Every structure is written in C-alpha cells, then in structure tokens.
C-alpha cells in the first residue's frame, strides 16, 4: 500500500492592498477603489528549511509584486475574474501545490451598512 503524501505546509500573506478599477458600475470603473488580497499557498517548505536558501521556496516579496500587478491591470467587471487571475499567478511556481485566494472589496456599492465583501477560491495545481 502506498504511503499517503504528507500534508502541505501553508504560507500566508494577508492584507495585500491594491487600487484598481474593477466593478460592474460605471462609477467603479471611473473612480476605482481599494481591494485587499489574502493568499494561502500550499507547498513543502522542507527543502528551504534544510538549505536556508530563498531559491528553495516561494519568494513572497516577488509574489506580492506579481499579484498587485495582476489586480491593478486590465479592469474587469467581477472579482471572480480577478481571483482566478491571481490564482493563476500563484500557481506559476511549480512548488505551489494549491492556492487559496480571498479578495476583499470593502467599498462595494451596496446600499446598506456592511463591513466587507469577500470572495474566496481554492485552486489546485493542474496535474
């Protein structure tokens, strides 16, 4: 019987602030708004722990820059589209086994008092 794979380690970066022009309404596209992004990456950190070398793990500084660029470019209507775009950026690194992306849209155009609107997606690496 094959031994089960060990569970992934998790690397999180939360509260990545981006300013972008996503939204269904013309005001959102014209004025823009703040979006916050939380990332959780599943990966095996043992190689990096053994070598103590940044090249053996995900460079989260570079990843954050790539995620911000993905959010702040090419406006779309839905945060679902933005979340999918972010997951694709994160999964470009072959060491990432899966990614969980949460997008916060605290300035969503809702006619009520509310704290936040979020969307969370989880995507595996495609085999």
The CA distance from 108 to 45, in Å, is 37
Q: Provide the number of structural domains found in the chain.
A: 1
Structural domain contains residue 63:
yes
Question: Tell me: the pLDDT tens digits for 15-61?
Answer: 999 999 999 999 999 999 999 999 999 999 999 999 999 999 999 99
Structural domain contains residue 99:
yes
List residues with catalytic annotation.
105
Percent of the chain beyond pLDDT 70? 94
The CA distance from 22 to 42, in Å, is 28
pLDDT given at position 64? 98
Domain with residue 61: its CATH number is 3.30.1130.10
Structural domain contains residue 3:
no
Q: Which residues neighbour 66 within 8 Å (Cβ) at sequence distance 6 or greater?
A: 89
Which helix (H) or strand (E) element contains residue 42?
A: strand 33-43
Structural domain contains residue 117:
yes
Q: Any idea what the Cα angle at residue 112 is, between residues 106 and 114, rounded to 5°? A: 40
Structural domain contains residue 59:
yes
Domain residue limits at 27: 9-124
């Amino acid at each position: 019987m094959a031994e089960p794979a060990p569970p992934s380690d998790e690397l999180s970066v939360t509260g990545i602030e981006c300013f972008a022009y996503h939204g269904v309404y013309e005001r959102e596209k014209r004025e823009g708004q703040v979006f916050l992004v939380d990332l959780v990456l599943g990966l095996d950190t043992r190689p990096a722990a053994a070598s103590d070398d940044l090249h053996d793990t995900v460079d989260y500084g570079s990843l954050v820059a790539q995620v911000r660029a993905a959010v702040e470019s090419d406006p779309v209507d839905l945060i679902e589209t933005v979340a999918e775009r972010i997951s694709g950026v994160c999964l470009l690194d072959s060491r990432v086994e899966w990614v969980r992306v949460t997008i916060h849209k605290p300035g969503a155009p809702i006619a009520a008092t509310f704290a936040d609107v979020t969307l969370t997606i989880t995507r595996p690496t495609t085999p």
